Structures are given as C-alpha cells and as structure tokens.
Amino acid sequence: MSAPRTDTRALVRIPPAERGATRIADRVVAKVASRTAREVLSAAAERHRALAALAAGASVTVRSGVARIRLTVELAYPVDIAAICATLRHEVATRVHTLTGMDVPQVVVQVERLHPAVEAEERAGRVR
C-alpha cells in the first residue's frame, strides 16, 4: 500500500511574520549567563594563579526581547574586583545577545562573598 500523495500546489505559503515566534525561557537565558560567567572566572583563574573561580549564578528577567541579568559571584581576594566585574558584564551581554538575539542593556554583577586566596585555592582543590 502506498502513501497518499500530497499536491504541493495546494499548499498555502504563509508569510514568515505570520508563522509564529520562538520564545526562549528566562531560565535558559540564565543558564547561558551563568555558564558564561563561570567560563570568564575560570579563564581569569588560569591567568592568575592566586585567583580561584568559586561560584557564579544568574537570574534573568525577559520582557519584549530585552534581557536584564543579575549575576552573583564569589571571588578569591585579593583581586581587581572592578576589572573582573567589567569583564563579566561585557562577556555575558555579548554571549547572551549572540546566542539568543535579545538586547541586553543591563548586567548587574553582585559580589556576594570574598574568600582569602588560600581558602579559595583549598576549595578549588589547589593546596600548596
């Protein structure tokens, strides 16, 4: 028994704008943001042995294709906090925009805790 044939001339072409839209969940954007933050902190830790990336998390609010991101991080101290936060803001905004197409006008970085470098190395498994 053969499958029924479809007359392709009978198919109606629907304009792209009327086909629907892809919605990306807030939690997916948050995962992209937190993973990017962990990658940035890990790269910084590789460049500066004293800095250990400890933790990074994100919360996101998306409205009308605009994502507002809040990162929470824990850092080893001493570290240039302003430079790390600026790098995090830039990299997270760029990656989220690239992967989702959303505008990211705001990335807030909140440093929840600073750990002494020795304690941070022990937590990361780098005991001297």
Convert the pLDDT of each residue in 87-107 to its tens digit: 999 999 999 999 999 999 999
Report the percentage of the chain scoring pLDDT > 70: 77
> Coil, strand, or helix at residue 44?
helix
Q: Does residue 119 carry a pLDDT above 60? A: no
User: In the structure encoding, which two tokens stand for residue 29, read together?
Assistant: 């954007």
> Coil, strand, or helix at residue 19?
coil
The mean pLDDT of 6-13, rounded to a whole number, is 66
Question: Which of the two residues, 21 and 53, has the higher pLDDT score?
Answer: 21
Q: Which domains does the chain have, with CATH numbers?
A: 24-123 (3.30.300)
Tally of helices (H runs) and strands (E runs) in the chain: 3, 3
Structure confidence at residue 56 (pLDDT): 82
Q: CB–CB of 70/50 below 8 Å?
A: no
